[in-house]
Amino acid sequence: MKILIIRFSSIGDIVLTSPVVRCLKKQLPDVELHYLTKAGFAPIVNANPYVSQVKVLDKDWKKMMQDLNAENYDLIVDLHHNIRTWRIKRGLAKVRSVAFDKLNYQKWLMVRFKINKLPNIHIVDRYLGTVQYLGVRNDDEGLDFFIKDMDKMSLSDMLPAHFQNGYIGLVIGASYETKQLPVSKLIELCQTIQKPIVLLGGKEDMENGKALSALAPERIFDACGKFSLMESAFLVSKAEKIVLHDTGLMHIAAAFQKPIVSVWGNTIPEFGMYPYYGKRKNQNTSFEVKGLSCRPCSKIGYHKCPKKHFKCMNEQDVKGLVEVVAAI
């Protein structure tokens, strides 16, 4: 059986599909798995030993569809479920397809009216529900994240010597500003945590990373924008504990079974995308500002707080957060 799995983006969402990939490969005899994603996320899937081929979403739609049609797939597993995946499935009309339920109506009710009709089920299990009819079951082994050439990476090549004996990973960025702590809170956090800290983030976080590391250069190392995704994931895998927002590195940290302190702003764990450990011990401590009538204000995020007060992050309990970080 040859199966095409589709998930275009983003980092965290692709990591969350990894149990589907693993369970299909291990539980179905002679299955061949192909994975269609965006070019920028292809390295994540390329490193996965359960995937035979990675297909890339191409601007040349006709060429891409000719390539996909030539594969003669037996099944399409649509884990993105949008207009583009509909077009692909329509172009492969003779191929059976299944798609996961995005729960858009339930999320809309929660965001718009704060009416919670969301099922108490993680998105991993909703993804796996699409292939349950094949006899595939959740093996409860958690998430996978594979780093190509991980054996060639070394902390001694990436961090100063005094950070190599243990550090807290602090991910300072997120895809939207309403999902991340403001700089004032990050400063308070960095000044209060007494353990060595490695700041993680992309190039867009470099300015804040530089300012935060300047608070205590001997204790805070700025890695923002200095390393590739795979190298950043390696740093996550070596951290004692990870402090972060609702972002892709959260799911990478969970794949490595790291203790996590997750800080939630405009989004909520009830959307079903909290850190997933499978049958292993849950090592996540979530921090939220409960009781806000405006939260969640979006299922994704905004660049600015719609209410302009940003209470979901400005009122975070930094003292309590630091206590959890210290209890390693």
Instruction: Determine the average pLDDT of the residues in 129-138.
Output: 98
CA 77 to CA 149: how far, in whole Å? 29
Q: With cut-offs at 50, 70 and 90, classify the pLDDT of residue 149.
A: confident
**Closest by Cα among 227, 220, 243, 226 to 173:** 243
Q: What is the average pLDDT score of the chain?
A: 96
- For the chain, list the domains and their CATH numbers: 2-134 (3.40.50.2000), 160-326 (3.40.50.2000)
E strand map for the chain: 2-6, 32-37, 53-56, 75-78, 96-99, 168-171, 197-200, 220-222, 241-245, 260-263, 284-287
> pLDDT exceeding 90 applies to what percent of the chain?
98
Question: What order of strands is seen across the sheet that includes strand 2-6?
Answer: 53-56, 32-37, 2-6, 75-78, 96-99
* CB of 110 closer than 8 Å to CB of 116: yes
pLDDT at 256: 97
**Closest by Cα among 215, 235, 241 to 223:** 235
How many C-beta atoms lie closer than 10 Å to residue 86's C-beta? 14
Looking at the predicted structure, is the pLDDT value of residue 186 above 90? yes
How many C-beta atoms lie closer than 10 Å to residue 96's C-beta? 11
pLDDT at 148: 87
Per-residue pLDDT reduced to its tens digit, 290-312: 999 999 999 999 999 999 999 99
| Paired sense of beta strands 220-222 and 241-245, if any | unpaired
CA 8 to CA 137: how far, in whole Å? 24
Which residues, other chains included, contact 93 with Cβ-Cβ below 8 Å and sequence gap of 6+? none
Per-residue pLDDT reduced to its tens digit, 72-89: 999 999 999 999 999 999
pLDDT at 75: 98
Specify the higher pLDDT residue, 59 or 261.
Answer: 261
Q: Is the dihedral of CA 94, 67, 47, 87 positive or negative?
A: negative
Burial 156-170 (b: 16+ CB within 10 A, else e): eebbeeebeeebbbb
pLDDT at 328: 63
pLDDT at 151: 86
Per-residue pLDDT reduced to its tens digit, 104-126: 999 999 999 999 999 999 999 99
Q: What is the pTM of this model?
A: 0.96
